[in-house]
Amino acid sequence: MDEDDYSPSNSVTSVNSLASLLREKLQSIPQKIRKKPSDYKLKAFVALMFLAVAFFIGFAYVLYHQQAHSKTYFRNVQLNEPKRLIRIYNEDDVEILKANLAVGVQGKIKAFPCLPEDRRNGSQCLEWLHTLRFYMKSQPHDPGLDNTTCYSIHWQALRPDVTPTDCFDWGDTKVHWYGGGQSFNLTWPLDAGSISFTPFVTGDMQKSQWGNLLTRYFINTKGAAIIVDEETPLHVAVKPDTKEICIRAKYDDFAFANKITEFPEMRYNICTSIDMKSLHTSIHSHRSSPLWDGLKPADMQTLDSLISEPVWQIAPRFKHELQAETIAKYTEDVINLGFLKQGHVLINEHWQNEIGDLEVDKSRFETLNVTVDKLHRRGFKVAFTIQPFISTESQNFAETVQKRLLVSERNSDRRIPALTRFKSLPSAGVLDITNNRSVPWILDKLQAVIDEYHIDSFYFDLGTAYDIPHYYRCESFLINPDHYKTIFTKTFEKALNIIGVSSAISLPRPPIFVSLPPFESSWEAMRRVIPTMLTYGVNGFPFLMPGAVGGDIYWPGSEQFLPSSKGSMDPMNITQENGIDLPERELYMRWLQMATFLPVMKFTHLPSKYNDERVLEMAKNLTLLRQKLVTPLLLKYKREALEEGLPLIRPLWQVSGGEAAPRVDDEFALGDELVVAPVLHQGQTTREVYLPAGLWQDGIDNSLRKGNRWMHEYKVPVDKVAYFIRRPDDLRFR
């Protein structure tokens, strides 16, 4: 081949020739074949449209059948019968509550409308044959409950092996639950902990039971609340794995052994409002009568004195160490401090020789009447602790057995008392408060003590449900063992001056305060005080009495802790008080800082016992702060509590909104005007502080702080406490 054959001109000619040849071949193809690619596109488009239409038809079919099974009741309630799923919406059509109903019922049992004879006026009624019957009703609007709507739900088991169980879902991570009570595994909010199905009765938190104060009331951050009827044999579980709070009606052989109906029934109300704060306020402010109704001037004076004056809890380690001289010496030490008010001297149950004597042990208190008179002249008030328990060693045990004044044992001779253990008592009977003969017997005993020793008041140590004999039987019917303490308190609240009770399931009449559960002397225990205080306040108890500064003290044999054997003791403090090591110094200081802002200040150990000028100086400054700032605010919000039932100590979400506020468990507000953020960890001098919306004045350096934000690494010296006072918004421009 010549070199010219590879020239550029020859290459171009070759390409043009190929193009011409291709054009000729394409023109020779029949017209139908050349249009085929366009046909493919059209067919593909038609097929795609067909699939889309089929999908939407199928989706509509599924949605239709789902809606066909879901019925809307009372406008804002939707029930899917096959799935037993209920959804409740607010006025803005936002879902605020979702619950799985009749959990545990096996199989897809179909629901049918109830027979005419089983229906009730105004209620929607469904029956799962031979299993459960379900009633739901919209409650008539109550003018006192602004923007609040309530629905009643009633489950009837139709055979003995069925236990009605409903579970409320918090799968939305922005939903939190509060209320109910406290347990060792529960904290703030309620959904942050866990507890398996447990009878909803008071108990010992250290034993993974519910605590000393319970209310059948649960509320979530979306504005929905559950209020369970007191006659329901209630068991409650908090399940973090499935993100549910579950309630169940179930009879057992102790807590709910007294059957009201043949098979378990569960009744509760669901209430909704525009938001959690509005709902909570409307529920607790709407009572049959305000708390002040029926209070006498003396009751108001006692209430004010408990807020403005300390409670001095005298608790030597051993019973024989509690004598008239012990009380006199303790009160002299209080007076020598020079800056603390006199207040109430609370003497535990060992003013008696044996629990249940209801008579002063004169071998240890020969001059008690002289001592009490001296205390009165010094400005102190004296309170005795009493219990409904009668030790088998008591001089009154034989008499109460003979007169049949004690709780008897179920399925046994009524003349035989049922025995139990209580604190250090290995064996004790329980006074049957439902027996009409018991009340005058107790009152006669206590009136004799009042007349001889001029005692000012009493403190009721009622124990918990588990302190009642397991197979108890009373003269009159009890719904559950907790019902006992309610009857006991109500029986004597008008006849005696009572300053406090150790346990409750219903709000006692003021000036009675309800105590927090005992906490050991440790940093971990101190961190439980605020969540417990907040939970009990949400439960509707405004007047709460915390434990002693630095931790509580127990007697040997009480199955409880002693500071000398458990907790944080001061390794640098070689002195003891009444044979008990003092709490660790820093712990005591931080605890005192927190307690300064709580409704009642209770002391066992005086700050002077540390022989540390820094501790003493801090105590003086905190006392002055309480007198000038805290006490006036507590007395101001006391009026709100008496009128509307609102707590004195409030969670931050009750002060203002904000996404962070519902989870804050280490701060609290006093009313709406003061936010307190104590240091709760050993060795720390900084902490994170969340301020609600508004303008706040720093209590440490008096600077103004903008709210609705976190303050990081906020400095809190060991002798200071972080607190913030609400100020008018325009103050920053002055």
pLDDT digits (tens, 9 = 90+) for 214-235: 999 999 999 999 999 999 999 9
621 and 692 part of one domain = no
Predicted confidence band at 144 (pLDDT cuts at 50, 70, 90)?
low
Is the pLDDT confidence value at 26 over 60?
A: no
Predicted confidence band at 5 (pLDDT cuts at 50, 70, 90)?
very low
In a domain, 403, yes or no: no
In terms of pLDDT, which residue wins out, 166 or 130?
A: 166
Q: Tell the residue number behind the tokens 């899917």, with chain if given.
A: 80
Of 645, 640, 636, 644, the C-alpha closest to 540 is 645
The domain boundary residue, chosen from 640, 667, 689? 640
Residue 181 near residue 166 (C-beta atoms within 8 A): no
In a domain, 579, yes or no: yes
SS3 628: helix
pLDDT digits (tens, 9 = 90+) for 528-575: 999 999 999 999 999 999 999 999 975 444 444 444 334 455 555 444
Q: Which whole number is the average pLDDT over 307-317?
A: 91
In a domain, 421, yes or no: no
- Rounded CA-CA distance 12/408 in Å is 119
177 and 123 part of one domain = yes
Q: Which whole number is the average pLDDT over 497-506?
A: 97
Is the pLDDT confidence value at 8 over 50?
A: no
Specify the range with the lowest mean pLDDT, choosing from 9-23, 321-335, 449-463. 9-23
In terms of pLDDT, which residue wins out, 36 or 401?
A: 401
354 and 274 part of one domain = no
Which phi and psi angles does 215 have, rounded to 5°? -140, 135
In a domain, 205, yes or no: yes
Q: Which whole number is the average pLDDT over 645-663?
A: 90
Predicted confidence band at 36 (pLDDT cuts at 50, 70, 90)?
low
Amino acid at 89: Y
- Residue 453 confidence (pLDDT): 97
- Going by the DSSP 8-state scheme, the letter that residue 518 receives in this structure is P
The domain boundary residue, chosen from 251, 285, 319? 285
Percentage of the chain surpassing pLDDT 70? 85
Of 57, 159, 182, the C-alpha closest to 532 is 182
Predicted confidence band at 323 (pLDDT cuts at 50, 70, 90)?
very high
Specify the range with the lowest mean pLDDT, choosing from 222-231, 326-335, 372-381, 722-731. 722-731
Residue 653 near residue 276 (C-beta atoms within 8 A): yes
562 and 532 part of one domain = yes
334 and 261 part of one domain = no
- Going by the DSSP 8-state scheme, the letter that residue 678 receives in this structure is -
pLDDT digits (tens, 9 = 90+) for 387-400: 999 999 999 999 99
pLDDT digits (tens, 9 = 90+) for 667-699: 999 999 999 999 999 999 999 999 999 999 999
In terms of pLDDT, which residue wins out, 54 or 244?
A: 244
In a domain, 404, yes or no: no
pTM of the complete model: 0.87
Number of domains in the chain: 4
In a domain, 408, yes or no: no
As a whole number, the mean pLDDT across the chain is: 88
- Residue 557 confidence (pLDDT): 42
- Residue 27 confidence (pLDDT): 58
- Residue 287 confidence (pLDDT): 65
Task: Calculate the CA dihedral of residues 398, 364, 579, 424 and round it to 10 degrees.
Answer: 10
- Rounded CA-CA distance 271/139 in Å is 9
- Residue 60 confidence (pLDDT): 52
- Residue 172 confidence (pLDDT): 72
CATH assignment at residue 312:
3.20.20.80
53 and 91 part of one domain = no
The alpha-helical segments, DSSP class H, found in 340-466 are: 368-378, 397-402, 438-453
Is the pLDDT confidence value at 10 over 50?
A: no
Q: Which whole number is the average pLDDT over 170-180?
A: 87
Specify the range with the lowest mean pLDDT, choosing from 316-330, 400-414, 711-725. 316-330
In terms of pLDDT, which residue wins out, 606 or 291?
A: 606
CATH assignment at residue 708:
2.60.40.1180
The domain boundary residue, chosen from 32, 49, 69? 69
Written as one string, the DSSP assignment of 291-334 is: TTTT--HHHHHHHHHHHHS-EEEE--SSGGG--HHHHHHHHHHH
485 and 620 part of one domain = yes
Which domain, by its residues, includes 373? 297-397+434-640
- Contacts for 647 with CB less than 8 Å, ≥ 6 apart: 536, 537, 538, 540, 541, 542, 544, 641, 654
Which phi and psi angles does 623 have, rounded to 5°? -65, -45
Predicted confidence band at 9 (pLDDT cuts at 50, 70, 90)?
very low
In a domain, 465, yes or no: yes
146 and 49 part of one domain = no
567 and 689 part of one domain = no
371 and 347 part of one domain = yes
Predicted confidence band at 4 (pLDDT cuts at 50, 70, 90)?
very low
In a domain, 358, yes or no: yes
452 and 577 part of one domain = yes
- Residue 105 confidence (pLDDT): 86
Of 545, 576, 551, 579, the C-alpha closest to 566 is 551
**CB-count burial class (<10 Å; 0-12, 13-18, 19+) for 8:** exposed
In terms of pLDDT, which residue wins out, 35 or 114?
A: 114
- Rounded CA-CA distance 402/406 in Å is 9
The per-residue b/e assignment along 90-116, b for 16 or more CB within 10 angstroms, e otherwise, is: beeeeebbbbbbbbebeeebebeebee
- Residue 24 confidence (pLDDT): 59
Task: Calculate the CA dihedral of residues 716, 717, 719, 721 and round it to 10 degrees.
Answer: 0
Is the pLDDT confidence value at 70 over 60?
A: no
Specify the range with the lowest mean pLDDT, choosing from 136-145, 316-325, 426-435, 486-495. 136-145
147 and 211 part of one domain = yes
